[in-house]
Chains A and B, each alone.
Chain A
Amino acid sequence: MTEHGSTPERPVDSGLGRPSVPGEGRTRPDVGTALELARVDVRRGVRWALAQDFWVLYGLVAAAGFAFMGWVAFDLGRTAGEALAADESTWLLSTGAWTVWGVLWLFAVGLLAVDALGSNGDLDADGYYLSVLSVPDVVGGKLLASAVKFTPFLLALAVPGHVGIALGAGQPLALVGCGVATVLTVVSATAVGYPLGLALKGLVRRSATLTRLKPLLGGAVGVTYLVVMFSGEFTTVVARIEPALRTPPLGWLGDLALATTGGVGASPTNAAGALVAGGVAVVTGTALATPAARYAWETDRARPAADGEADDATPPADPVGRLLGATPVSQPTRGVAVTTLRRVARSPLQLLFAAVPLLAAIPLGEQVLTTGTVPWYAPWLVVWYGAWAAGAAVPLNPLGAQGATLPALLSSPASGGQVVRGHVLAAALPVAPLTAAAAVGVGVLGGQSAMQLAAVGAAAVAVVVAASVLAAGIGSTVPRFETLDLGNAREAVPPSKVAFGVFGTALSLSVVAVAVVADELARDLVAALLTRSLPSNPTVNPDAVATVGWVGLALAALSVPLAYRTAATRIDDYRL
């Protein structure tokens, strides 16, 4: 007997060259089997995340964000509840709740579709599962697991708002409607979003072109999402689609959520309609999930032409290697630089960590675009980011990034100095010219003088190279060898958190030093800030700030050769 009380069915040879499996031909999943699969899937997902420090960190940051949004929702709800108790109305009670629930449902559908399209829509050990279980059972497990995984996100946003309404209005029953609406949103969004993602996955797998473009399209969608979310344009987008959000049956979700809140005027008919429409969506979506899963899972993947079956290979094209070959750069340095650049270009996900500070620049970019003015510090911000990106993307973990090849590197004649120079070259070759061009371009837009532009351009190149060396020194001192699973069978070895922290701090202080030395406005600003924030408010002279800046620059300049020597020695002497 199985855990669910039924006798396990064994695969039976159907005589058609492939054993038939229990339940083949039906579209409705067996609840017991689906529950068991979902239980294992959720448990594995939680353990996967908890076992990786960067995902735990990300989870904590996300939790803080959700806590903040939950607080905002609670505050809105309480205000609305108090207004309701006073026989008044607010935006939330008149139209807002309907819009919010529509957004939540659409968001959930989108996220679940992306979830299915990504690695979570695949089966681990698919050969095993698909040969001993029916596809509907496996799909049922996937749907349940996804619903469970997304429920906390929805609860974190919806429940505080309705708790606020219940408390403000003194109507505890208000939570009943919220609970029912939450459950209906989760299950119906899963039943709609997940099959959609699986169908898209099948489409991508059948098309060599889509397979090749998938990383690009995924990146574009991700960047668009981040820009919309961090630029404040999200509300504009919602306002545009608000009429559609309030159109039945989507618009009925708000009625369902507020059905047990007296005095709001939610339509009981619409609430019942939401339940019926949700039920239809769940049944239809679950039934369609099986063919969608078959479409995604039971196919030979199209292979991009670049990976085709050629005859005997010839030496690979190597433009960067040829370019460096024309310079006095040694063979080992050339080898490290070329290989590092190739790895980054072919596995750009490892740049994720270097890209994080870009999020902070989105509001600045929006400000520049909307006001048409460029702040004086914008070019220096570009320099800082270029230096950060150069250091964090490549040289901040020169030992750990070698992965399984570290023994081969250490047992080769390549010296530590050659390896460090290779990493610095790999970082500075693409980033230094880009940073200089971007910083000068932003400076031109800001109307800066020729002298200022020259200073920022020269500083960009110097700071990028110096930051790369500094990163190598820090990263080789505190290497990280533990891989981080990025999903979709992708792994990366990010730098250690200590390395990130030390490098970011050192870099920020260095760029501030450069800024106060090279820019009068920066000197004045820092002097004013110090005057205001230091105890007893002493008057800080901008010239004194410049002097401190020079000292800081001297220390930064000294730290570069020290970092180089540290990195080279660490690599030379490193033992496993």
Chain B
Amino acid sequence: MSDPAIVAEGLTKRYGKKRAVSDLCLSIPRGSVYGFLGPNGAGKTTTMRMLTTLTAPTAGRAEVAGVAVTNRPALTERVGYLPADPPVFDELTGWEQLRHVARLHGIPDDAADERIERLLDRFDLLADADRHIESYSTGMCKKVGVVGAILHEPAVVLLDEPTSGLDPRAARTVRDMVAELASGETTVFLSTHVLPVADELADTVGVIDDGRLVAEGTPDELKARSVDDVDGETDLESVFMDVTTDDRPPANGRASDRPDGSGDDRPDESEAEHASEGTHDRARIDS
């Protein structure tokens, strides 16, 4: 069996005294899709940033595509990353943006243009490719971001909420693209709030809460072991509700009003420590 595409052992990130990710262990096979679920502020984005060298771990180690996450120059050629906020310049056209990304990756213009045209066409964006991105909808920006993440044909792709803001057709295209990537040798690390997407695509699902991986397994295994099966039917939502808690003190007094913290998933220390006291361990699934 070949080496895993992503390996993490005791991966931890602290911001001062605050723990964002704690003792994370992962082993994700090549050519698979790993669905990464968790509430807002659970540590998903921090984990992805550590796996792409954008954030330095406080402790532990990780390798992506056989390269340590401390070795940015070697790793950047092998990973593609789509942040939750699409990385685009409003002043450029879609095509100019993607050519810029291609040049950062050292791809010659001719080869880049051929790939860009093919991918834009696939995402139904070719007719709008010469319009400035400032006139694009959220979904169109997201599509440009997705194309930019896979343009250099990386071995591992990390996608943070790739289908949010997309219409059903575009979301379908992204899901097909993820499935197609994984059918080859590409490994996809997929963070999403859309649980049916993870259910459909992921070979393995991991749930992170308060910085800790609280459940991991295939979607079927997780659903089969869910303790919240009242009516005999289970889905990932039941699993999610079962293994994550909603007991963190809300910032504004209302638990349901947490902001979409895609870029800020730093729980405070008491929250992270509470999570380590066994509340979640009883739901851990050792598959």
Contacts and interface: CB of A to CB of B under 8 A. Distances in A.
Interface of A: 307, 309-316, 318, 321, 325, 330-332, 334-336, 338-339, 342-343, 346-347, 403-415, 572, 575-576
A517 B166 CA distance: 62
Given A330-B106, A408-B81, A409-B104, A313 B88 contact: no
Nearest to A406: B87
Nearest to B80: A411
Given A316-B95, A338-B100, A575-B55, A407 B81 contact: yes
A415 B106 CA distance: 11
A346 to B, nearest CB: 4
B253 to A, nearest CB: 22
Contacts of A314: 130
B130 A313 contact: yes
Nearest to A315: B113
A407 B108 contact: no
B51 to A, nearest CB: 10
Contacts of A321: 99, 109
A198 B54 CA distance: 47
B218 interface: no
Interface band, chain B: 35 or more
B53 A415 contact: no
Given A404-B86, A411-B81, A575-B54, A335 B95 contact: no
Given A310-B130, A332-B106, A407-B81, A339 B92 contact: yes
B8 interface: no
A149 B146 CA distance: 45
Interface string B73-117: 100110101010111111111111001111111111100010011
B106 A346 contact: no
A347 B92 CA distance: 10
Please list the 4 inter-chain residue pairs (A to B) with the smallest Cβ-Cβ separation, ordered nearest first. Answer: A335-B103, A313-B129, A408-B87, A412-B104
B148 interface: yes
Contact of A413 (B76, B88, B94, B128): B76
Nearest to B81: A411
Given A313-B95, A316-B130, A411 B79 contact: yes
A575 to B, nearest CB: 5
B49 interface: yes
A576 B266 CA distance: 13
Contacts of B274: none
28 contacts: A309-B127, A312-B126, A313-B120, A314-B130, A316-B93, A318-B109, A331-B104, A331-B107, A332-B104, A334-B103, A335-B99, A335-B104, A336-B103, A343-B91, A346-B92, A407-B52, A408-B81, A408-B83, A408-B87, A408-B101, A410-B53, A410-B72, A412-B76, A412-B105, A413-B76, A413-B106, A572-B72, A575-B53
A338 B103 CA distance: 10
B83 A407 contact: yes
A342 B100 CA distance: 11
A575 B90 CA distance: 24
Interface of B: 49, 52-56, 72-73, 76-77, 79, 81, 83, 85-96, 99-109, 113, 116-117, 120-121, 126-132, 135, 148
Given A313-B127, A318-B109, A413-B106, 7 more contacts: A307-B131, A312-B126, A321-B99, A332-B106, A336-B104, A410-B72, A413-B77
A413 B73 contact: yes
A314 B93 CA distance: 11
Contacts of A575: 53-56
Given A313-B127, A403-B89, A413-B77, A331 B103 contact: yes
A336 B99 CA distance: 11
Nearest to B94: A313
Given A321-B109, A339-B100, A405 B81 contact: no
A339 B76 CA distance: 20
Contacts of B95: 313, 315-316
Contacts of B132: 307, 346
Contacts of B49: 407, 576
Nearest to A334: B103
A332 B101 CA distance: 9
Given A404-B87, A405-B87, A412-B104, A342 B54 contact: no
Nearest to A307: B131
A332 B88 CA distance: 16
Nearest to B101: A408
B106 A407 contact: no
